[in-house]
Amino acid sequence: MFILACAYVLADWFAERAWQKYLQRLGHAEEISLRPKVPNHLNFAKTPLLEQNGYKDRISGARPPGLDHAERLINFGAVADFRRGGFTHLAAEAVSTNANLSVNDQKAAGQVLAEMEQQDGEINELLEAAKRPYSRFDMEINSDGPVPNFVLLRFIAQVFQYRALCFLALNDPQEAAAQMRVFDQVVEGLRGHPTLVAGMIRVAIIGLEFQPFYEGWSRRQWSPEQYAEFQKMFARAECLENFDFSMLTGERLGVAEFVNTKTPREMIEKINLSGVDEVKEPIRALLMNTYFRSMPKGWWRRNLIEHHRILDGMRTNLYDINSRLVFAQNDQRGINWFDKELTRAKPFHHIAAAAIPNIAKALQHVALAQASSDQAMIVCALERYAAKYSSYPDSLPGLVPEFMVALPKDLISGNFPIYRKKEDGTFLLYSVGWDGRDNSAPAGPNDYFTRGQDFVWPFHRAR
């Protein structure tokens, strides 16, 4: 028993020494600060609906009746994909590529909106709140902090995306833009949230902004003033910056807080460290849980060191926040490095294996969302330029500084998006795809991350 006690003491001592050495190698403590709070009456996220239902630990029950009613009216499967040049056909299941709206489209849009008005209290609440200057959901850098109800927030964004498409079908771009402000406020409210899950939900909601914008743009429904507003909206995307913030907070500081403040029993209950299915393998699960509960405290600290070291390696191998680049061509190398490190780190890899998400896959969606935001922002500037000078510029630098402060650079290539003005009065705008090469603008029909495909802004023939 004395020898075992000594072994535990030595394990703790060596682990603490290793932790201090790691902090010294890091060079400095990361200075992380969350966005300051704002008055409730100026905060979109402080509406009664979102306060009561917008967080997992505050859910009052079923989905609010107005939104539940909206779901029964909306055919989400009919929403098209703008990157394939599609237009939403509101009157049928199938997606239409015809920009000319039929009477059925307009009739369907009117019916959906009229039906929603029967229980529109929550819809109006969110529309009114979207006029507020700020949007910030509650957040803390710890494992017990408030967690947004991502399912509800994404559904709200989908409802208002569909409503925007309905108003465009009725040729009411002003009301369509008002709907888009709601899900933009949801996006803004999730900015700087300390969990990677929140960051990826934010990316998914950003992706909902492009379809109504594209359809209104293709039908020439937006005004120069609306383009200026949308340009500011797309400029706030900052997908990689938000992703990296989540990596430093929830994925590093949050896990550190979790390990340093929770007992082994609490950690086992929170996450499945062993990866064993307790239902299918109850004996093995019991043995593994006993092992975790009897581990020296120092071993948990060593697990934390390995988690941080592997996380730092993933950040180095897959992207560079300082140069604002995603190393897409190193995707598989980063995954292989991660797998290799986990096998080397035994028995100190348990937290890393359980807590580090699929970063490489997440970065694909970050890169696509940022490319789409940058292209949409450029399209806004191009339309404002054309409204003033009656044609598109010969090159993108012609937009600066009158219509853009600076041109955005691709996350993958590090260069400006590729633009060509055509003789027929249209333009070609695209960014290099996941393979990091200029493939002369072929767009992937099914998989945007297939080799040889670029991220292309489609120019519909209706233009």
Q: Does one domain contain both 95 and 215? A: yes
Kindly state the tokens that stand for 12.
């703790």
Flag whether 379 is in a domain: no
What is the rounded average pLDDT of the residues 156-174? 94
Q: Does one domain contain both 49 and 142? A: yes
Specify the residue for token string 């941080």: 308
Q: What is the pLDDT of residue 376?
A: 97
Flag whether 450 is in a domain: no
pLDDT band at 315 (very low <50, low <70, confident <90, very high): confident
Rounded Cα–Cα distance for residues 121 and 66 (Å):
7
Instruction: Tell how far CA 154 is from the center of its chain.
Output: 11
What is the rounded average pLDDT of the residues 329-345? 70
Helix (H, G, I), strand (E, B) or coil at 350: helix
- Residue 1: pLDDT above 70? no
Specify the residue for token string 């006993």: 290
Rounded Cα–Cα distance for residues 131 and 31 (Å):
32
Q: What is the pLDDT of residue 136?
A: 94
Q: What is the pLDDT of residue 367?
A: 94
Q: What is the pLDDT of residue 424?
A: 85
Q: Does one domain contain both 128 and 256? A: no
Q: Are 417 and 408 in contact (CB under 8 A)?
A: yes
Looking at 342, 360, 378, which one is the last position of a domain?
Answer: 360
> What is the domain extent for residue 292?
247-360
Q: What is the pLDDT of residue 103?
A: 57
The residue among 273, 277, 332 whose CA lies nearest residue 304 is 273
Of residues 30 and 124, more confidently modeled = 124
Q: Does one domain contain both 120 and 214? A: yes
> Which of these ranges, 9-23, 147-161, 214-228, has the smallest mean pLDDT?
9-23
Number of domains observed in the structure of the chain: 2
Most confident of 21-25, 246-250, 445-449: 246-250
Burial of 342 (0-12, 13-18, 19+ CB in 10 A): middle
The answer to whether the pTM exceeds 0.85 is yes
Q: Does one domain contain both 217 and 270? A: no
Q: Does one domain contain both 67 and 161? A: yes
Q: What phi and psi, each to the nearest 5 degrees, are found at residue 196?
A: -70, -30
Q: Which pLDDT tens digit goes with each residue over 410-463?
A: 999 999 999 999 888 889 999 998 888 888 877 655 677 877 789 999 876 555
DSSP letter, residue 77: G
Rounded Cα–Cα distance for residues 458 and 430 (Å):
9
Q: What is the pLDDT of residue 96?
A: 40
Give the alpha-carbon dihedral of 105, 204, 372, 461, to 10 degrees: -20
Rounded Cα–Cα distance for residues 223 and 388 (Å):
12
Flag whether 384 is in a domain: no
Q: Does one domain contain both 182 and 313? A: no
Q: Does one domain contain both 271 and 210? A: no
Q: Does one domain contain both 150 and 212? A: yes
Flag whether 4 is in a domain: no
- Residue 249: pLDDT above 90? no
Residue 444 identity (one-letter amino acid): G
Average pLDDT, the chain: 84
Flag whether 91 is in a domain: yes
Q: What is the pLDDT of residue 191?
A: 93
Kindly state the tokens that stand for 307.
């988690």
The residue among 167, 190, 169 whose CA lies nearest residue 177 is 167
Rounded Cα–Cα distance for residues 209 and 213 (Å):
7
Kindly state the tokens that stand for 150.
């991502």
Strand partners of residue 455: 431
Element (H, E) at 111: helix 103-116
Helix (H, G, I), strand (E, B) or coil at 298: helix
Q: Are 205 and 186 in contact (CB under 8 A)?
A: yes
Q: Rg of the Cα trace of the chain?
A: 25
- Residue 223: pLDDT above 90? yes
Q: What is the largest CA-CA distance in the chain?
A: 87
Of residues 250 and 41, more confidently modeled = 41
Q: Does one domain contain both 184 and 312? A: no
Q: What is the pLDDT of residue 312?
A: 86
Flag whether 389 is in a domain: no
Looking at 222, 256, 287, which one is the last position of a domain?
Answer: 222
Flag whether 137 is in a domain: yes
What is the rounded average pLDDT of the residues 275-291? 79
The residue among 34, 25, 32 whose CA lies nearest residue 312 is 25
Of residues 50 and 284, more confidently modeled = 50
> Which of these ranges, 134-148, 326-340, 394-408, has the smallest mean pLDDT?
326-340
Rounded Cα–Cα distance for residues 44 and 50 (Å):
9
Q: Which pLDDT tens digit goes with each residue over 27-83?
A: 544 556 778 889 999 999 999 999 988 888 776 655 677 777 777 778 788 888 888
Q: Does one domain contain both 131 and 265? A: no
Looking at 301, 334, 360, which one is the last position of a domain?
Answer: 360
Rounded Cα–Cα distance for residues 252 and 247 (Å):
6
Helices 196-206, 359-389: axis angle to 10 degrees equals 30
Flag whether 394 is in a domain: no
Q: Does one domain contain both 83 and 202? A: yes
